[in-house]
Amino acid sequence: MNSSEATVVVHSPRSRPADLCSRWSVDQVEALLQMPFNDLLFRAQQVHREHFDPNAVQRSTLLSIKTGGCSEDCGYCSQSARRDTGVDAEPLMQLEQVVESARAAKRRGASRFCMGAAWRGPKDRDLDAVVGMVREVKQLGLETCVTLGMLKDGQAERLKAAGLDYYNHNIDTAPEHYDKVITTHSLLDRLRTLEKVRAAGIKVCSGGIVGMGEGRRGRAAMIAELANMETPPESVPINSLVQIDGTPLAGAETVDGFDFVRTIAAARITMPTSYVRLSAGRSEMSDELQALCFLAGANSIFYGERLLTTDNPDADQDERLFDRLGLTGV
């Protein structure tokens, strides 16, 4: 099946009966992941070229505006207060510091600035401050993105009014695997927030993590869940788990690099018009592996030397990589 043969989903993610009205069944996505590597990459590259300039890569810079001390127990995360990871809780950053950081990101060439907070969700008082940040960053001429956890009614509308372009909220893993990784909230909670974001007219950024013991079937289920959303996310971050000492997932079996590339290719084929972001984990990847991810249809990266609490390749390194590959950063 290809995207032009796809059936249109009419159900919301909450009401959709599993696999009944789906564009992509888990079996179909798993079949993609099992294709001969060259066939899979060829198909992904064909789909990519139908919708995007194959040599352009979007660049988003991340800033942790509120680090550590989070109430949630996500098994991969350095910022959960329940774990001893060496990441201490810090207060919300001041507006001026955030704006300065956004200015620097713009000077380096980023087109989007993404602000992340280690919250289960924002209190209304927190949101007042973030609304001010979104407004000022937007005024710099950058696209804006925030990732603040679960939203209450009315909060997405306030963010939209401030000029928010994207809200990042990942489904993180396969539905069947979710409660092995996170117990303090459910996938349904996440989907409800995504519905609020959509209803407010904000673009959705949602993806997940590879390397949490999900297996090939789990990766297929995660991609199918994203691709079958009533409107698939405009931006799909695919993270490779950054193992953090002190978390339950430190020491998890690492995923073969080619399987990571296959996951990117499956995201590209099943969500042809979405930006697919080669997200966390690039510091542990060779230039050659990253090049395969671009060939598989990744067309966005996190840009700048820091993710939230861990390192990312610095801008100079990425510029050299882009030069070697003839890629243009946008």
The set of catalytic residues is 70, 74, 77, 114, 145, 205, 277
**CB 7: neighbour CB atoms within 10 A?**
10
Q: How many chain residues bind ligand SF4 (CB under 6 A)?
A: 9
Kindly state whether residue 143 participates in binding ligand SF4, applying the rule CB under 6 A.
no
Q: Is residue 78 involved in binding ligand DTB (CB under 6 A)?
A: yes
Nearer Cβ to ligand SAM, position 221 or 241? 241
Binding track over 170-209 against ligand DTB, x by CB under 6 A: x------------------------------------x--
Does position 239 bind ligand DTB by CB under 6 A? yes
CA distance 169 to 138: 20
For the record, the structure tokens of 244 come out as 């953090």
Residues with Cβ within 8 Å of residue 120, at least 6 apart in sequence:
70, 71, 72, 149, 150, 184, 185
Number of residues that bind ligand DTB (CB under 6 A): 16
241 binds, among ligand DTB, ligand SAM, ligand SF4, none (CB under 5 to 8 A by kind): ligand SAM
Instruction: Report the residue from 13, 116, 175, 233 that binds ligand DTB according to the rule CB under 6 A.
Output: 116
Q: Is the dihedral of CA 198, 61, 120, 189 positive or negative?
A: positive
> Which residue, among 292, 289, 316, has the nearest Cα to 303 in the 3D structure?
316
310 is a contact residue toward ligand DTB (CB under 6 A): yes
Contact of 320 with 114, CB cutoff 8 Å: no
Q: Which is nearer to ligand SF4, 60 or 80 (CB)?
A: 80
Give the whole-angstrom CA distance, residue 134 versus residue 200. Answer: 15
- Segment contacting ligand SAM by CB under 6 A, of 98-106, 113-121, 251-259, 260-268: 113-121
Determine the Cα–Cα distance for residues 223 and 234; give it in Å rounded to an integer.
14
Q: Would you say 159 or 327 has its CB closer to ligand SF4? A: 159
Overall residue count recorded for the chain in this entry? 330
Q: HSE on the CB side for 66, CA within 13 Å?
A: 24
**CB within 8 Å of 313: residues ≥ 6 apart:** 282, 283, 305, 321
Rounded CA-CA distance 160/141 in Å is 16
Instruction: Go through 58-68 and write b for each residue having 16 or more CB atoms within 10 A of its CB, e for each that does not.
Output: bbbbbbbbbbb
Give yes or no for residue 159 binding ligand SAM (CB under 6 A).
no
Of 30, 52, 60, 76, the one binding ligand SAM (CB under 6 A) is 76
Q: Does residue 220 sit in helix, strand or coil?
A: helix
Residue 22 interacts with, from ligand DTB, ligand SF4, ligand SAM, none (CB under 5-8 Å by kind): none
| Residues near ligand SAM (CB under 6 A), total | 17
Q: Does 115 bind ligand SAM (CB under 6 A)?
A: no
Backbone angles phi, psi at 222, to 5 degrees: -65, -45
Contacts with ligand SAM, 205-244, as mask; x by CB under 6 A: ----x-----------------------------x-xx-x
Span near ligand SF4 by CB under 6 A; candidates 76-84, 126-134, 226-234, 299-307: 76-84
Q: Does 72 bind ligand SF4 (CB under 6 A)?
A: yes
Q: Which residue has the tokens 């910022």?
A: 79
User: In this complex, which beta carbon is closest to ligand SAM, that of residue 77 or of residue 200?
Assistant: 77
Dihedral sign (CA 164, 168, 169, 174): positive
Site for ligand SAM, rule CB under 6 A: 76-77, 116, 118-119, 147, 149, 169-170, 172, 209, 239, 241-242, 244, 280, 308
Site for ligand SF4, rule CB under 6 A: 70, 72, 74, 77, 79-80, 118, 120, 149
